Structure 1
Amino acid sequence: MSRFSNRLISLRKEQKMTQSDLAKLLGKQRSTVSGYETDGKEPDFDTLCTLADHFEVSVDYLLGRDDERRHADVVFRNDNANFKRHYDALPADLKPVVTEILDDVYVMLKRDMQSNNGERLHLYRDLIHGILEGRRAVRQSTAALPDAAAMSALMEAQSELKGEVAAALDKLMQFDVDAALGVKKMDEQDIKAI
């Protein structure tokens, strides 16, 4: 049996699907799915992509070319290796600074990761993304200094960065206040009922 066949069987069973269920999803006959799993029959590209999307895995994983289920897992692993390489190359006096930053981020995220608090995690993402994009705009503006127009653009970019970070921090604080007071946000149905 091929790696593809083994992976397909395993993924189908993980989702407690029958061959008939999978055939219905794919718009195929059950015998076609059976052929994918036992006879060495190969799906066309569209079917392969549909399978990967449905099972939330990469095509490479389905084909047995990679043991990581998702491309994002490979990227994350590579990013970690690159980060470690850069960290190891830092002067000794800067390593504790980076460690402290990472410890603080870990503490900030840990509780909300454990409780699957998506709203707060999205707010953290928005905050970090805002800082990253704002810093990028500031760096672009500094490239043209000492031009007067560039100085104006720099001041504007810096002001926007401050505003975005302040807004994100306000949202985080409001979330904490609402949680402490037990305030429930109204969803669209609640608003329509008023």
Structure 2
Amino acid sequence: MFHWLLKFPALPLKYLLPLPLLLIAFGLFGEQLTNRVLSLSFVGLDKLQAENPHLQVQLPVKATVVTAEIERELDFTEVEIETTKSPVKKLRFEFPNVDAIALQTILARELNLSSRAKKLQSGTQIQGQFKFNIQGVLAQIDKRQGMTKVEIVTIDSAMKNLELEFPVTDIERLKDTIAEELGLSRQEIIMLVSYRVIN
């Protein structure tokens, strides 16, 4: 039954003795080595891409505008908004080139601004639900600062990307926080989010 074992030459004892030592060393230092390798920074892709590019999210936002920059390009107008009093810290939109009044109307509609706050300026309150499809998510964990910046790249929307900040650096807690904020399952977060750790 086990005759095939007899065909192998007996391994000398000198080859078998280091095996338990290697197992003990791996058990003691494997986690530290893994953490060290995972904390190394790397150059990420310019465009974040997910396996499922059509994952739709509804993000409730209640924030105050700090700055709003409008930059006209050849084919489109880019609007970048920085906010405070919310995990959402930055929103970037692209609109077709239109006149200033039409742009303010489009922005008011996109940001759910009240009728009396037609103009986007510092101190304007943004409140509402943003609906978008996620193309990819990159979470940059900064251990020194004790916070994580999450960049979400969207598709099929005027909002092209947004940045969120969380006072969390533990990856497991971060997964739960992002899942709760975006209304996604933990499995979807595992599939969707790439991590970069900065020490």
* Same-fold status (TM-score > 0.5): no
| Bigger share in helix | 1
Q: Which has more strand, going by share of residues?
A: 2
